[in-house]
Structure 1
Amino acid sequence: MSDYDDTYTESQVIMTAVKIIAPFTLTYGLFMTFHGGDAPGGGFQGGTVVGVTVLMLAFAFGIEPTRQWLRNSFITGLVTGGVVIFGAIGLGMIALGGEFLEFYKLKEVFHIKPKWGLEAVEIGGISLIVSGVIISLFFTMAAGFTPDRPSGTGGVSGVDVDDAPDAAEPEVSDDD
């Protein structure tokens, strides 16, 4: 059993501060994502700021309510969608006769700037992957790891609490 109290304590100061700051950090993260090709930033940095905004909400309003609000299927969809978009754009360039992510084929075939291919990869692929991975890693680490919990609640896979020996009580055999 752990020696610390890990229960959620509500703080009106933190909740109010997060309510005020979160819209600005989310807007800044989206700004960085959408202006990545023209200014410092991009999909990685913007996705990080968006992901950290969700973490900030979890710290203020509780990890479990935030985890329930952002279901695992949604976070998995973010990461999977980003990978699919990234791969589809890369493979699309191969289909146009170029190399993987060779955006100059966009100019040759569609007469549009190669920059739009990079923007699509950053906005549609990288930012979704990064924000989803940050959020999922946070929830995974917040669940913790204790060998005495059954699988599905952060414990060791296949170990049932009833079947595991208690560390405080040594097993006694009949041979003694």
Structure 2
Amino acid sequence: MNNPEDLKTDIASEEVFMQLFLQSERRILGFILALVPHLADAEDLLQETCSIMWRKFDQFERNTDFTAWGISIARYRVLTYRRKAASSKVRFNDQLLEKIADAAIGVSMKSDERALALQTCLAALREKDRELIRLRYFAENSTKQTAEQLGRSVDSVYKALNRVHDSLLWCIRRSLLGEV
């Protein structure tokens, strides 16, 4: 019979793993998709990667980059996949694959920087502009639905969205250049 304290530790470890994995899943899948031509294969590789990450979670060094650890495991899964698919008509050589993998990691990191900049810039918007963005994009309304909810014309909502988009773009660029 398991010790109740061991069971509590196992559950806590599982919760920590799931939280970290869910935060990293899109970036890991994006990395795999940069190297694997078919979505179904990429999703299978993500599942394999997740399984390996869970089995080796006790080897993960806390306070290090979980996503980078997952991507390194995914890289090996992709290499194994490629060896099995070697008979395919279209095949990258391993050196090119490594270059693509390195570029995908760089793009993934820049994507995180942009997402953080967007988050910061959204927070800096005026309340009415944040509400406009929330209604249009986060609530997934059409521009017409957004205009109806705000009691405004569709044309005025288009103009306001265009102005907010420009403002966000300007803010994000400044943020990425370190000017904010």
Q: TM-score, normalised by structure 2?
A: 0.28
The structure having more radius of gyration, on CA atoms, is 1
Q: Which has the higher helix share?
A: 2
